[in-house]
Amino acid sequence: MRVKLSVVIITFNEEKNIRRCLDSVMDIADEIVVVDSFSTDKTETICRTYGVNFIQHKFDGHIEQKNYASSQASNPHVFCLDADEALSDELKQSIISIKNNFVADGYSMNRLTNYCGTWIKHCGWYPDTKIRVMDRTKGKWGGDNPHDHFIMEAGATLVHLEGDLLHYSYYTLEDHYKQVEYFTTIFSQSQFAKGKKAPLLMVYGSPVIKFMKDYFFNLGFLDGKAGFTISRISAFASFTKYKKLRQLHLQKRKNGR
């Protein structure tokens, strides 16, 4: 059956990315819903020139924001995007095809990341398969913030699409380190709330394992200098998130005395 597709995007200060994202979905969207957590840059101005349904909503977490954004779509069939993503031509054609014959409950696709100008094919960053097109009544966003993913209900059908979702992740090393600081704080707080702990072996052992896995086992060395940089910073992120988690528990014990 032919379906109408709502494209749903969450934003916060995305003036650098949002125009590219919107341009890439104009040919496939019957509706575009942007849920913005009160941007202070030109994100709103840019979005309104495209005639999108622009909604401002307090950000309580990536999972919570995406579930809220999906609920604002007029159509049950949605395509969920981040503002720093865009469709390759092949993926766009795949989505046009399924709109005319939407037979599955959800559709997955590979995500290809651009890191400081280099497309990354290894380091565990590709194919980075994501479920992004779905009947929103057949599941919900879940996971551990900030790493959200769509969870299909039991018995739901899933089909993989041809073409890549293009992810423009970081423009500079500074961007990457800022994201590490942001994500590791969210992760540590989320794990602390669940009672998870971080023994010293995890704090100091996990970064070594992470680097070895990404650079050697996941062939990050084939991505050249970018592969080494990604593997190194990913190892640093692993150390940082568990160090922060450990510090939260140490602070709790200190406050409890």
- Domain residue spans of the chain: 6-170, 173-256
Structure confidence by residue, pLDDT tens digits, 216-235: 999 999 999 999 999 999 99
Q: What is the pLDDT of residue 2?
A: 85
Tokens of 210: 């992470």
Q: What is the pLDDT of residue 232?
A: 98
Strands 139-144 and 77-82, bridge-based pairing: unpaired
Q: What is the pLDDT of residue 213?
A: 97
Q: What is the pLDDT of residue 144?
A: 83
Look-up of token digits 């409950």 = 105
Q: What is the pLDDT of residue 257?
A: 53
Instruction: Please give the class, per CATH, of domain 6-170.
Output: alpha beta
Asked if residues 55 and 41 have their Cβ atoms less than 8 Å apart, the reply is no
Q: Which residues of the chain have pLDDT under 50?
A: none
Report the predicted TM-score, pTM, of the whole model to 2 decimal places: 0.89
> Could you write out the three-class secondary structure of 40-84?
CCCHHHHHHHCCCEEEECCCCCHHHHHHHHHHCCCCCEEEEEECC
